[in-house]
Amino acid sequence: MNLPYNVFMIITDPYLWARALHLIAIIFWMVGLLYLPRLYAHHFNCKVESDSDIMLKIMEHRLLRYVMNPAMIATIALGVWLVVITGIGAPGSGSWIHFKLLLVLAMAGSHGFMSKYRKAFERGERPKSEKFFRMFSIAQTVLLILVIMLAVFKPF
């Protein structure tokens, strides 16, 4: 059987490592971007300083600090590494990457809003409605789908 990569190539190819680690980081980041707004939707209905309120504050803090923040940083850093390795974005390589980067910036902005809302919940405020947070989660899903479609199909 003739495999496209031998073990030595897999171990030493920086592109393969960057791509694999980038995908892993994206998955972790998206888990947070999809789950945190759902936590906020549940948190909206909790009485301030109740057991549920305290538990959700802890969960939200840990998700943002220990999963989402490192995953976002890794996703962006590895994405930059992939751009450097492959030369994507150079003249003639297609403009799909520019639109993908705009969508990633929108995701990073969403991440920032989620951090802002966590701080509001921490203070006992309810910054937006339950419906808003459910719709926010759906918006993250749409962004993810668009990013994947651009990366896979490279339409332009």
In this prediction, residue 7 has a pLDDT band, given cuts at 50, 70 and 90, of low
Res 102: pLDDT? 96
Q: What is the pLDDT of residues 115-136, one digit of tens each?
A: 999 999 999 999 999 999 999 9
Interatomic CA distance for residues 56 and 77, integer angstroms: 30
State CA 116 to chain mean position distance.
Answer: 16
| Amino acid letter, residue 82 | L
pLDDT above 70 as % of the chain: 94
Could you tell me the two tokens for 105?
Answer: 């910036």
Contacts 24+ apart (CB under 8 A), 115-120: 115/64, 117/40, 118/36, 118/40, 118/60, 118/61, 118/64
Res 11: pLDDT? 76
In this prediction, residue 90 has a pLDDT band, given cuts at 50, 70 and 90, of confident
Across 54-72, average pLDDT:
98
Find tokens 């190539």 and name the residue.
Answer: 9
Across 107-115, average pLDDT:
97
pTM over 0.85: yes
pLDDT at 1 over 60: no
Q: Are 112 and 36 contacting, i.e. CB atoms less than 8 angstroms apart?
A: no
Average pLDDT, the chain: 93
pLDDT at 3 over 70: no
Question: CA 64 → CA 18, 78, 86, 153, 156, distances in Å?
Answer: 23, 19, 31, 31, 34
User: What are the domain boundaries of the chain?
Assistant: 17-153
Q: Are 58 and 1 contacting, i.e. CB atoms less than 8 angstroms apart?
A: no
Interatomic CA distance for residues 76 and 101, integer angstroms: 10
